[in-house]
């Protein structure tokens, strides 16, 4: 890092500072590399997950998709939640090109030909889980083809910026 710039060239004790600095840099690099390996999550779209199939089983994955409202099933007694997501592009540019996130989510939900994935989760139903929300799900793919989530993140872009209200009178 930058400590060579901070050290003085003619300083008599320069070596010990350089060595100390290098040790710290090495330690930080070790921390970053080992922590990255320990907690890397592969971000896949539903399409990619289905193509890769077997090869990513058991890995820590992050999947993004559009929530299909009719598929949401929730048993409050056992706190088991299951729903289906439809494939959406993983790339922001592609999403923008297709008319923004709200439009992409809507199309994905209404298109029966899209790849779909069943998600199972144990825990309280998130507030934002509803039709045409974007779900970002962390978990792993089970042998039965169901995605077992341990974390759900939901985003509903429709309501804030993009949509123009349609309740206008004249």
Partner 1 sequence: MLANFGFGALLITLLISLYGIGAAIYGVRRNQPAWVESARLAMLLTFPLISVVALSLIVLLVSGHYELEFVSSVTSNSMPIYLRITALWGGQAGSLVFWSWLMSAFATAVTLRRWDRDREFLPWVIVVSLITLAFFLILTIFFENPFERIWRAPNGQFIVAMFQPAGASLAMMRDGQGLNPLLRHPGMIIHPPMLYLGFVSFVIPYAFAIAALITGRTDDRWIRITRRWALVAWLFLSLGLILGGRWAYDVLGWGGYWGWDPVEIAAFMPWLTGTAFLHSVMIQEKRGMLKHWNMVLIILTYCLVIFGTFLTRSGVLSSVHAFAQSAIGPMFFGFIGLTFIASLYLLMQRWDSLKADTHMTSMLSREALFLLNNLLFMSILVVCFWGVMFPLISELFTNQKVTVGPPFYERATAPLFAGLLLLMGVAPLSAWRHSTAKTLGRAIWKPFIFSLLVGVLLPLALGVRHWAALLGFWLSAFVASVTLYEFWRGALARRRKSGENLALALWRLAGRNRRRYGGYVIHLGVVLMAIGIIGIEMFQTETQGTIPRGGSLSLRDYTVTYQSLAMFDTPDGRNVARAVLSVEKNGQYVGELHPRRDYYFESQQPMTIPGVRSTMEDDLYVLLVDWMPVSSQGATFKIYHNPLVNWLWLGGLVFILGTLIAAWPEKDPEEAVERAPRSAYAGAQV
| Of residues 102-121, those binding partner 1 (CB under 8 A) | none
Residue closer to partner 1, measured from CB, 124 or 142: 124
| Of residues 11-50, those binding partner 1 (CB under 8 A) | 11-13, 16-17, 20-21, 24, 27-28, 31-32, 34-36, 38-44
For residue 60, report the phi and psi dihedrals to the nearest 5 degrees. Answer: -80, 115
Decide: is 54 part of the binding site for partner 1 (CB under 8 A). Answer: no
94 by DSSP, 3-state: which? Answer: helix
**Span of 65-73, 112-120, 124-132, 139-147 interacting with partner 1 by CB under 8 A:** 124-132
Residue closer to partner 1, measured from CB, 70 or 168: 168
**Nearest Cα to 21, choosing from 35, 4, 37?**
4
Decide: is 3 part of the binding site for partner 1 (CB under 8 A). Answer: yes
Indicate left, alpha or beta for 16 from its phi (over 0: left) and psi (-120 to 50: alpha): alpha
Q: What is the Cα–Cα distance from 118 to 63, expressed in whole angstroms?
A: 11
Decide: is 90 part of the binding site for partner 1 (CB under 8 A). Answer: yes
For residue 76, how many C-alpha atoms fall within 13 Å in the half-sphere facing its CB? Answer: 1
């Amino acid at each position: 890092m930058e400590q060579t710039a901070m050290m003085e060239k003619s300083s008599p004790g320069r070596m010990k500072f350089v060595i100390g600095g290098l040790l710290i840099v090495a330690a930080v690099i070790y921390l970053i590399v080992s922590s990255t390996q320990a907690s890397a999550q592969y971000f896949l779209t539903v399409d990619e997950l289905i193509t890769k199939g077997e090869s990513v089983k058991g890995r820590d994955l992050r999947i993004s998709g559009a929530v299909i409202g009719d598929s949401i099933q929730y048993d409050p007694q056992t706190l088991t939640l299951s729903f289906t997501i439809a494939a959406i592009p993983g790339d922001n540019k592609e999403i923008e090109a297709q008319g923004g996130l709200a439009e992409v989510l809507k199309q994905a939900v209404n298109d029966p030909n899209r790849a779909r994935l069943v998600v199972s989760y144990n825990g309280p139903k998130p507030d934002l889980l509803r039709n045409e929300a974007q779900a970002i799900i962390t978990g792993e793919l089970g042998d039965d083809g169901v995605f077992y989530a341990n974390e759900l993140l939901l985003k509903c872009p429709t309501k804030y910026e993009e949509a123009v209200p349609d309740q206008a009178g004249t």
